[in-house]
Amino acid sequence: MRLWGGRFEGGPADALTRLSVSVQFDWRLAPYDLLASRAHARVLNRAGLLDDDELSRMIGALDDLERACVSGDFRPTVADEDVHTALERGLLERLGALGGKLRAGRSRNDQVATDLRLYLRDHVRHIVSRLVELETALMSQAEKHTETAAPGMTHLQHAQPVAFGHQLLAHVHAFARDIDRLRDWDRRAAVSPLGAGALAGSSLPLDPQTVAEELGFGSAAPNSMDAVADRDFAAEFLFCAAMIGVHLSRLGEEIVLWASQEFRWIEMDDAYSTGSSIMPQKKNPDVAELARGKSGRLIGALTTLLTVLKGLPLTYNRDLQEDKEPVFDAVDTLLLVLPAVAGLVATMRVNTARLTASAPDGFALATDLAELLVRKGVPFRDAHEAVGHLVVWCQVHDKTLDGVTDEELAKVSPHFTPDSRDVLNVPGALAARKAHGGTAPDRVRDQLISLREVVDAQ
């Protein structure tokens, strides 16, 4: 049963049918298509195109069809071109000729754009909930480590000590921005295309604004051509998804490093790590690696859709059918990865002793020494130079910064005095970074308080 048989003599070629059919992936839009159909039936009734009795039979049949879809009694077949075709067949099976009235004033072009917006707005809510769970897991770990010193790195080299909780919260800020972006996305996505018809609107007295309201949209599209041609909402969602993917990948990469023998900063819980089929001793960070790897398909989904869209003339073109698989894959991927990473983070055991012991490694307190000289009036350029000489002296003599004697210090530079050694302790170095945004334990605790407010409001 096709929706467009009237002007054709023969049936379509098999090759065309196989190319054209989308029901195997767009069937997941069925609940949203049914929702939009109920709203459309009511608008036809208000327009005097369906009488009250017809409306109640129509709504009854749509409800029954929905139940049959949920129970699996109604399934799409390979002969149904897409979800809209399948559902019209289901309606005709229930209502006979009356079922054919629902299509008045509506096209699959405005229908599919509406369905996809409804689907995405709904699923973005689930994605936000999973993101909040990940933020919560990171924050509860951070809470235990507001005072735990860790080697802070730039270029993956020891740079300056930081509180491990500060580093964990850095990831929370990234995910909080992702949620913010999705909320902002929703505001722009909340526009209903229904009423645009194929591209020009309808000569029937429809009421797009009321339909928009009934479907939970903020407004109806002000331009029917834009309504059916626009897929910005899908592309923008895919950017948000790719950005989340990149954030998950960066966190994943850190976890892979932290779990390695070389770092030994964390131990993953058995429930969130995997073994090797040959090496009995292995405990692998597959969750973190899959988070890193799956970001590739999220970036790919964005690239796919932007490439489909570029160069399309207004308005609807069949190319637009290619919008769905990348969107569905991105949604599925995020809903798979986010709970796994949240579980991994929530259950990992942090090796506090090892973090604390390695925090000053690699002359990580050198900057503190230089800043001490600055406080004594030495220009930073000279302080930097003097500490640089001291670092080389330590390397040559195989010493740490705090292992240098008073005489040795004085020999390297007259700027150094015995009290210089006072700044060479990690807790002091953390506590000193107490300005807004710094790694001082007090500031990390403040951060936790304000992040909790942000996350509660998300």
Stretch that binds ligand ARG, among 132-140, 251-259, 312-320, 438-446 (CB under 6 A): 312-320
Indicate the residue among 200 and 357 with the shorter CB distance to ligand ARG. Answer: 200
Look up residue 336 and give its two tokens.
Answer: 């798979």
Is residue 202 part of the contact set for ligand ARG (CB under 6 A)? no
Closest contact distance (angstroms) between CB of 198 and ligand ARG is 7
List the one residue out of 158, 149, 182, 172 whose CA is nearest residue 350.
149
Is residue 21 part of the contact set for ligand ARG (CB under 6 A)? no
Look up residue 235 and give its two tokens.
Answer: 């592309």
Stretch that binds ligand ARG, among 6-14, 313-321, 330-338, 444-452 (CB under 6 A): 313-321
Is residue 321 part of the contact set for ligand ARG (CB under 6 A)? yes
Count how many residues are written for the chain: 458
Q: Which of 35, 112, 196, 241 binds ligand ARG (CB under 6 A)?
A: 112
Closest contact distance (angstroms) between CB of 87 and ligand ARG is 12
Indicate the residue among 318 and 436 with the shorter CB distance to ligand ARG. Answer: 318
Q: Which of 62, 320, 372, 423 binds ligand ARG (CB under 6 A)?
A: 320
Of the residues 20, 56, 129, 276, which is catalytic? 276
Is residue 7 part of the contact set for ligand ARG (CB under 6 A)? no
Indicate the residue among 272 and 316 with the shorter CB distance to ligand ARG. Answer: 316
Give DSSP secondary structure letters for 189-204: H-EE-TT-TTTT--SS
Contact 291, 340 (CB under 8 A): yes
CA atoms of 96 and 316, how far apart (whole Å)? 30
**Which positions from 68 through 87 interact with ligand ARG, judged by CB under 6 A?**
82
Q: At what angle do helices 324-347 and 286-309 cross, to 10 degrees?
A: 160
Indicate the residue among 266 and 327 with the shorter CB distance to ligand ARG. Answer: 327
Q: Which of 37, 109, 114, 295 binds ligand ARG (CB under 6 A)?
A: 109
Stretch that binds ligand ARG, among 41-49, 89-97, 104-112, 397-405 (CB under 6 A): 104-112
Closest contact distance (angstroms) between CB of 182 and ligand ARG is 24
Quick one: 352 exposed, middle or buried, by C-beta within 10 A (0-12, 13-18, 19+)?
A: middle
Indicate the residue among 146 and 315 with the shorter CB distance to ligand ARG. Answer: 315
Q: Which of 40, 108, 158, 292 binds ligand ARG (CB under 6 A)?
A: 108
Closest contact distance (angstroms) between CB of 75 and ligand ARG is 18
Closest contact distance (angstroms) between CB of 22 and ligand ARG is 5
Contact 286, 341 (CB under 8 A): no
For residue 446, what are the CA distances in angstroms to 345, 356, 370, 450?
Answer: 22, 22, 28, 6
Is residue 234 part of the contact set for ligand ARG (CB under 6 A)? no
List the one residue out of 91, 151, 216 whose CA is nearest residue 362.
151
List the one residue out of 113, 372, 386 whose CA is nearest residue 230.
113
Is residue 155 annotated as a catalytic residue, yes or no? yes
Dihedral angle sign, alpha carbons of residues 159, 163, 166, 167: positive
List the one residue out of 89, 95, 106, 86 whose CA is nearest residue 53.
95
Contact 47, 205 (CB under 8 A): yes
CA atoms of 136 and 171, how far apart (whole Å)? 11
Indicate the residue among 320 and 370 with the shorter CB distance to ligand ARG. Answer: 320
Q: How many residues bind to ligand ARG according to rule CB under 6 A?
A: 10
Indicate the residue among 22 and 37 with the shorter CB distance to ligand ARG. Answer: 22
Look up residue 316 and give its two tokens.
Answer: 């609807």
Is residue 318 part of the contact set for ligand ARG (CB under 6 A)? yes
Contact 384, 370 (CB under 8 A): yes
Of the residues 155, 277, 436, 450, which is catalytic? 155
**Which positions from 28 through 57 interact with ligand ARG, judged by CB under 6 A?**
none
CA atoms of 72 and 83, how far apart (whole Å)? 15
Indicate the residue among 313 and 414 with the shorter CB distance to ligand ARG. Answer: 313
Is residue 436 annotated as a catalytic residue, yes or no? no
Cα-only R_g, the chain: 31
Chain centre to alpha carbon of residue 95: 43
Is residue 22 part of the contact set for ligand ARG (CB under 6 A)? yes
CA atoms of 241 and 243, how far apart (whole Å)? 5
**Which positions from 410 through 429 interact with ligand ARG, judged by CB under 6 A?**
none
Closest contact distance (angstroms) between CB of 126 and ligand ARG is 22
Contact 63, 37 (CB under 8 A): no
Indicate the residue among 82 and 178 with the shorter CB distance to ligand ARG. Answer: 82
DSSP secondary structure code for residue 313 in this structure: P
Active site positions, annotated: 155, 276
Question: Under the rule (CB under 6 A), what is the footprint of ligand ARG?
Answer: 22, 26, 82, 108-109, 112, 316, 318, 320-321
